[in-house]
Amino acid sequence: MFPPIEPFESGYLAVGDGHQIYWEASGRPDGIPALYLHGGPGSGLTPGYRRLFDPDVFQIVSFDQRGCGRSHPLVTEEGADLSTNTTAHLVADIEALRAHRGVDRWLVTGASWGTTLALAHAQAHPARVTELILFAVTTTTAAEVQWITEAMGNVFPREWDQFASAVERRPGQRLIDAYYDAITDPDPQVRERTAAAWCAWEDVHVSLAPDHRPSPRFEDPQFRQVFATLVIHYWKHAAFTGNRDLHDGVHRLEGIPGVLIHGRLDVSSPLRTAWRLHRAWPGSRLVVADDGHGGEDMAAAVRAAIAEYASRFGDPAGRSGLS
């Protein structure tokens, strides 16, 4: 990993609907533009993402997505409106940030949910993306949501029983819908219990790697509730893609290279998702790491893919990324 660095510039950008997103830029101010999209939804930024990029080469841009991190308002604040927090809104926020930074085209990277958002952005605005580097690949289809929330009980039966019994579920109701009802309940105690149960399940299913450890971030009650609210919201609606999924729009990525990096031990997002996307996307390359949903091998593969991109893109002084 590259040494830790601090942003050279940061701020808030008003993106409409009462939202202000926190953004930051690190590395070289006139460097190759690169966007990083965090996971979750609702994880917010942590400083480690900056260390994937050579700070002498890249202008590294990222932001806390609507409702989480340092963006305002948090999804848990009184009066927060979930109807203004959808994939289409986040894609529009990316475009607003790109214009704000004066970037014409950029490398787009993303982790986990960030891969779903990166694909949605690239399919909506292919002329603005030079390449995609995606790791812990998800596309947030209804089938993927059903796998994590229902079928995963075949892998972790004891833990799933605890997860399923933590909320009231009507006969025939999908578990994700029951969790949505609970996480939006007017009773704050119900919402807190729901968030705790959801995050406990997240820690169970994220990886089959024997050295996997629970996330310390889930010890923070506010983080738990922000994270759980946004994940459940986006999963209930299968990333708001309507009657199609992101695989149907792969043809819009024609001419855009992509590197898909995925862990063989990732049980929450099975390798088949990345494989299916790779098969449909002729310009993609699939790298399989001996990791779960993250890990050292995956991080090394990400750094290698970013470095390879930099070598192909040329010297920063001669690039065409900035408008």
Cα–Cα distance, 205 to 75 (Å, whole number):
24
Catalytic, 112? Answer yes
Catalytic residue from among 112, 207, 268, 269: 112
Q: CB within 8 A of 178, min separation 6: which ones?
A: 167, 168, 169, 170
What are the tens digits of pLDDT across the range 106-143? 999 999 999 999 999 999 999 999 999 999 999 999 99
Query: Prior bond to 171 cis, omega within 30?
Result: no
DSSP letter (8 states) at residue 55? T
* pLDDT tens digits for range 65-95: 999 999 999 999 988 999 999 999 999 999 9
| pTM for the predicted model, two decimal places | 0.95
Active-site residue, 293 included: yes
Q: Exposed, middle or buried, 320 (CB in 10 Å: 0-12/13-18/19+)? A: exposed
Whole-number mean pLDDT of the chain?
Answer: 93
DSSP, residue by residue, 102-143: TBSSEEEEEETHHHHHHHHHHHH-GGGEEEEEEES-----HH
CA-nearest of 101, 35, 94, 34 to 319 is 34
Q: Which of 64, 93, 245, 266 is catalytic?
A: 266
Lowest-confidence pick of 16-25, 144-153, 211-220, 222-231 = 211-220
Residue 139: half-sphere exposure toward Cβ, Cα within 13 Å: 23
DSSP codes joined into one string, 164-203: HHTS---TT--HHHHHHHHHT-S-HHHHHHHHHHHHHHHH
Looking at residue 322, what is its pLDDT?
44
Q: Express each pLDDT in 144-168 by its tens digit.
A: 999 999 999 999 999 999 999 999 9
Cβ atoms 155, 267 nearer than 8 A: yes
Q: Is 266 a catalytic residue?
A: yes
**Residues 7 and 24: beta-carbon distance below 8 Å:** yes
Q: What is the model's pLDDT at position 207?
A: 65
**Residue 245's pLDDT band (boundaries 50, 70, 90)?**
confident
Give the bridge partners for 108, in sequence order: 35, 132
Average confidence (pLDDT) over 9-18: 97
Tokens of 234: 């986006």
How many C-beta atoms lie closer than 10 Å to residue 210's C-beta? 7
d(C-alpha 295, C-alpha 211), whole Å: 10
